[in-house]
Amino acid sequence: MSRFRRRLDSRLKKSCPHPRKSTFCGVILLAVGVILLWYFLYYRCPFGKSCGPGEKCLSFTRWCDGVKDCSNGADESQCFRLQGIDFLLQGYSSDDNAWLPVCAENWNDNYGSTVCVQMGYDSKFYESSSQVNFKASAPAGFLKLKSGSSSESPIQTQLMHSPECSVRAVKLHCIECGKSFAAPSGRVVGGYEAVKGAWPWQVSLQVYHQHVCGGTIVSSYWILTAAHCFQTLSDPQLWTVTYGDVQLSKMPTRMPTERIVRHQKFDPKTNDFDIALLKLSKPIIFKQRTVRPLCLPNVELHMNNSKDAWVTGWGQLYASGPSPDKLHQAQVTVYVRELCNHRYVLNGRVTDTMFCAGKMRGGVDTCQGDSGGPLVFNSGNVWWLIGITSWGFGCGLKTKPGMYSNVSYFREWIQKQMQDEWQTEL
């Protein structure tokens, strides 16, 4: 903006070489100043937070106060989040403009369930509230329930800042997720067949009973997948979601799709923002071993970039090769973005919404038909969804790892879509 302003000012000076034009030019300069000030306050929002592009700017104290001030509800949609492998509950403090751990003093499952519903989860599948030691010192303090609080009102209006907590912090599980009963643990050179129960969150997205893309169960109603799967087939009535087995020919359950929510910024040319959510017409009935949701990544979920992760799908076994009836799995390495963007690798094509994974030596990769499927890793004895199969150059080529949508980048977007749907129904 500063370069724009200097360039504009210089043009005005050239258009006002004589004193007789100084009054007119002063008016123009004043108008320009007003426009620049409006732009700065409206878009940059220096004294608060913006509701979004083109939306109004609100002071910090009007966020998470229980009153919807933004037309899109953004000021009340991101008031709670979970942190790390301990599922530590954090609330946004508008007074401190900071995320603070929630103290477990006077907390119970009624409050936990209410928060989970506000975060977009179905209360029927609520798991538990418990306590966890807060490992950091929490120098900014805690959020604590006020006396006389009720779980029937917005929780964010009933929390107050406290410099200390007499008990431990809240650990919150909105849904039992990330549990596998037959996941592999050894290294492999290429992909191989998965056993039943290993990846109970994997689904097949089908059109006319034909597998097209993969997807991941993240709640009773929602499937997370790739936006590019719906470029030509965008009618939700065409799509069904099948799950419950590793063999496509033996899938016991077929569920119709109610809505397809593609990210509004998806760019088919670059595959940037390649993420979508499918809303099912009926809730999934979870089964202990074969049908379970996968955990979305919590805030500050740390993954060593060299750590091995796993990809799964019913895609082609090699470029232009056959597609298997049985689910395949492969172990891959997640690489740092700088390496992915090296000119001899992917030459700058990797944005903040993506990361690359595979094997630089080649031979291990996802392929056509795997799109939308999960890339997962295990931490704290829980499996986390960190990537969505997106795009790549060929399949398994040397120095050409596959590209995956970065689920952590889209955490708030995912939560917002789930919240909007529940708030509409409630």
Residue type, 139: P
Instruction: Calculate the CA dihedral of residues 269, 324, 328, 374 and round it to 10 degrees.
Output: 30
Q: What is d(CA 238, CA 48) in angstroms, rounded to the nearest whole number?
A: 44
Structure tokens at 339: 């390496």
- Looking at residue 190, what is its pLDDT? 60
Is the Cβ–Cβ distance between 140 and 96 less than 8 Å?
Answer: yes
Is the Cβ–Cβ distance between 366 and 373 less than 8 Å?
Answer: yes
Q: How many CA atoms lie within 13 A of 132 on its CB side?
A: 20
Q: What is d(CA 151, CA 108) in angstroms, rounded to the nearest whole number?
A: 9
Q: What is d(CA 67, CA 60) in angstroms, rounded to the nearest whole number?
A: 13
Q: Looking at the structure, give the CATH architecture of the domain made up of residues 308-409.
A: Beta Barrel (2.40)
- Looking at residue 137, what is its pLDDT? 56
For 77-175, CATH number out of 3.30.390.10, 3.10.250.10, 1.20.810.10, 3.40.50.300 equals: 3.10.250.10
Instruction: Calculate the CA dihedral of residues 313, 316, 318, 320 and round it to 10 degrees.
Output: -160
Name the nearest CA neighbour of 407 among 315, 294, 306, 280: 294
pLDDT string in tens for the chain (426-residue length): 333 322 223 333 333 444 433 444 455 556 655 555 544 444 567 667 777 776 778 777 777 877 777 877 777 778 899 999 999 999 998 888 889 999 999 999 999 999 999 888 988 999 999 998 876 556 789 999 998 888 887 888 889 999 988 889 999 999 999 999 887 754 433 678 999 999 999 999 999 999 999 999 999 999 999 999 999 999 999 999 999 999 999 999 999 999 999 999 999 999 999 999 999 999 999 998 999 999 999 999 877 666 779 999 999 998 888 999 999 999 999 999 999 999 999 999 999 999 999 999 999 999 999 999 999 999 989 999 999 999 999 999 999 999 999 999 999 999 989 987 655 444
Name the nearest CA neighbour of 284 among 323, 247, 234, 244: 244
Is the Cβ–Cβ distance between 129 and 111 less than 8 Å?
Answer: yes
Inter-CA distances, 153 with 64, 149, 199, 219, Å: 13, 8, 38, 24
Q: What is d(CA 100, CA 103) in angstroms, rounded to the nearest whole number?
A: 9
Q: What is d(CA 315, CA 396) in angstroms, rounded to the nearest whole number?
A: 13
- Looking at residue 58, what is its pLDDT? 73
Inter-CA distances, 149 with 121, 145, 175, 277, Å: 22, 7, 24, 35
- Looking at residue 52, what is its pLDDT? 72
- Please identify every residue annotated as catalytic: 228, 274, 371
- CATH classification of 199-293 is 2.60.40.10, yes or no? no
- Looking at residue 270, what is its pLDDT? 94
Three-class DSSP labels, the chain:
CHHHHHHHHHHHHHCCCCHHHHHHHHHHHHHHHHHHHHHHHHHHCCCEEECCCCCCEEEHHHCCCCCCCCCCCHHHCCCEEEECCCCEEEEEECCCCEEEEEECCCCCHHHHHHHHHHCCCCHHHCCEEEEECCCCCCCCCEEEECCCCCCCCCHHHHEEEECCCCCCEEEEECCCCCCCCCCCCCCCCCCEECCCCCCCCEEEEEECCEEEEEEEECCCCEEEECHHHHCCCCCHHHEEEEECCCEHHHCCEEEEEEEEEECCCCECCCCECCCEEEEECCCCCCECCCECCCECCCECCCCCCCCEEEEEECCCCCCCCCCCCECEEEEEEECCHHHHCCCCCCCCCCCCCEEEEECCCCCCCCCCCCCCCEEEEEECCEEEEEEEEEECCCCCCCCCCEEEEEHHHHHHHHHHHHHHHHHHHC
Number of Cβ within 10 Å of residue 223's Cβ equals 27
Same fold, 199-293 and 308-409: yes
Beta bridge partners of 49: 58
Is the Cβ–Cβ distance between 388 and 229 less than 8 Å?
Answer: no
Domain boundaries, the chain: 77-175, 199-293, 308-409
Q: How far is CA 308 from the centre of its chain?
A: 21
